[in-house]
């Protein structure tokens, strides 16, 4: 009897070592849950029942219990790797069989389905267009790999607090390149009809107690300047000259003199279009002269392109800025529709896309200010 008791202890200890070894071997296995060995005493029984002084006859392995304690969470370079922090399982499906796992190492198969390393489909619930999860039977998750149609920005909501303690800038008029001419700048990303990202900046200039002018900038330049700089895009003579330059660069054999003359012709046409637009926008004679000089220099630069000429001209443009609207606050720091009347919110911003990308040349953006205030601190 004593031999059997000792042997049962050795067998149980061996099984416990097997479990421990398995835990150690899988210490780096993602989603693995360790196990513990549970032992039970063994007692002899007789038809007449056990006596009060009967000794046990050994030990046995009652169960190998899996432990579901939280493991370590690590970061990876795979955006589809997911860890569960707390209770729960990932539901997977393979060949009609439903399985559950804590291993969140997922990837996409050739059809765009989210799968486990074993090839099982990860299942889940669909989502409506408004982001609401649809209550239905779980289905395999599929991520579309086709390009999404871009959606142009049409609305920008800004909730801002303008510090009532700010003073009216002593340097004026407003200049987007001079931070001393405005009190606050808030940039926001907007997207054109081709999905290209642009930066629309809203500049706030305090003009009096509770009154702030709002200016808009496009990719770092105030929109009045951008609208003048892009005048050549709508000028037939300038566009014909650009087409002639393109044809000259494609000629075989290429005639350098013809290319240079075509560039000079474009610079002259662009200079005329932009100078006229600048004059209409209130530019000074000095600014018009600077535009013409920049165009001439660009047109005479060997190897330059019409785009580079446009950049040189744009850098010389400086016209009076026009605010897109005015915000007025009451004595409680809230926006006042009555004080702003007849102006209404949201403000309309005609955001120019320049240089041209092939997208719609102007984005009509509504700038809202719901929840904006004017208190004593940010």
pLDDT digits (tens, 9 = 90+) for 246-266: 999 999 999 999 999 999 999
How much is the CA Rg of the chain, to the nearest whole Å? 37
Check whether residue 199 and residue 340 sit in a common domain: yes
Q: Is the pLDDT of residue 373 over 80?
A: yes
SS3 153: coil
Check whether residue 184 and residue 268 sit in a common domain: yes
Check whether residue 233 and residue 368 sit in a common domain: yes
Check whether residue 291 and residue 167 sit in a common domain: yes
What is the span of the domain harbouring residue 362? 150-378
- The residue count for the chain: 378
Provide the domain count of the chain.
3
Check whether residue 11 and residue 109 sit in a common domain: no
What pLDDT score does 308 carry? Answer: 96
Check whether residue 176 and residue 283 sit in a common domain: yes
Task: For residue range 189-221, list pLDDT tens digits in order.
Answer: 999 999 999 999 999 999 999 999 999 999 999
Structural domain ending residue among the three candidates 66, 90, 120:
66
Check whether residue 213 and residue 350 sit in a common domain: yes
What pLDDT score does 365 carry? Answer: 98
Q: Is the pLDDT of residue 272 over 90?
A: yes
Task: For residue range 40-52, list pLDDT tens digits in order.
Answer: 777 666 555 555 5
- For residue 4, the Cα-to-chain-centroid distance in whole angstroms is 70
Check whether residue 96 and residue 207 sit in a common domain: no
CA distance 313 to 294: 5
228 or 129: which leads in pLDDT? 228
CA distance 201 to 215: 8
129 or 175: which leads in pLDDT? 175
Structural domain ending residue among the three candidates 11, 39, 66:
66
- ∠ CA 155-159-165, nearest 5°, is 135
Check whether residue 113 and residue 201 sit in a common domain: no
Check whether residue 142 and residue 204 sit in a common domain: no
Structural domain ending residue among the three candidates 111, 128, 146:
146
What tokens appear for 160 in the block?
């801002």
278: domain CATH number is 2.60.98.20
SS3 317: coil
SS3 331: coil
The DSSP string of 69-127 is --------S-TT-----SS--EEEEETTEEEEES----EE-TTSBEE-TT-PEEEE--B
Backbone dihedral region of 119: left (phi > 0), alpha (psi from -120 to 50 degrees) or beta?
left
Check whether residue 137 and residue 59 sit in a common domain: no
Task: For residue range 2-14, list pLDDT tens digits in order.
Answer: 677 777 778 877 8
Task: For residue range 82-121, list pLDDT tens digits in order.
Answer: 988 888 899 999 988 999 998 899 999 999 999 999 999 9
Check whether residue 89 and residue 178 sit in a common domain: no
């Amino acid at each position: 009897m004593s031999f059997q008791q000792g042997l049962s202890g050795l067998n149980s200890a061996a099984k416990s070592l097997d479990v421990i070894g398995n835990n150690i071997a899988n210490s780096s296995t993602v989603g693995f849950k360790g196990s513990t060995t549970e032992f039970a005493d063994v007692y002899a029984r007789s038809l007449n029942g056990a006596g009060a002084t009967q000794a046990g006859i050994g030990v046995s392995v009652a169960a190998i219990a899996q432990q579901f304690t939280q493991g370590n969470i690590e970061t990876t370079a795979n955006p589809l790797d997911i860890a569960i922090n707390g209770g729960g399982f990932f539901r997977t499906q393979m060949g009609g069989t439903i399985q559950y796992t804590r291993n969140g190492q997922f990837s996409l198969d050739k059809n765009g389905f989210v799968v486990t390393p074993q090839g099982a489909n990860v299942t889940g619930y669909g989502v409506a267009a408004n982001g609401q999860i649809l209550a239905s039977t779980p289905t395999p998750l599929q991520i579309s790999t086709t390009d999404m149609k871009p959606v142009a920005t049409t609305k920008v909501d800004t909730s801002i607090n303008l510090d009532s303690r700010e003073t009216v800038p002593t340097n004026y008029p407003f200049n987007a390149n001079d931070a001393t001419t405005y009190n606050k700048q808030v940039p926001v990303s907007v997207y054109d009809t081709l999905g290209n990202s642009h930066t629309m900046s809203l500049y706030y200039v305090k003009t009096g107690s509770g009154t702030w002018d709002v200016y808009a900038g496009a990719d770092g330049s105030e929109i009045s300047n951008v609208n003048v700089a892009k005048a050549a895009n709508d000028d037939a003579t300038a566009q014909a000259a650009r087409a002639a330059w393109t044809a000259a660069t494609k000629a075989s054999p290429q005639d350098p003199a013809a290319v240079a003359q075509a560039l000079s012709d474009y610079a002259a046409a662009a200079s005329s279009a932009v100078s006229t637009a600048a004059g209409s926008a209130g530019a000074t004679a000095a600014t018009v002269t600077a535009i013409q000089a920049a165009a001439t220099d660009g047109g005479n630069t060997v190897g330059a392109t019409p785009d580079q000429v446009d950049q040189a001209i744009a850098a010389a443009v400086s016209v009076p800025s026009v605010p897109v609207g005015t915000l007025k606050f009451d004595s409680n720091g809230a926006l006042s529709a009555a004080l702003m009347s007849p102006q209404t919110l949201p403000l309309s911003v005609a955001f120019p896309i320049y240089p041209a990308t092939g997208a719609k040349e102007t984005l009509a953006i509504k700038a809202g200010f719901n929840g904006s205030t004017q208190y004593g601190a940010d």
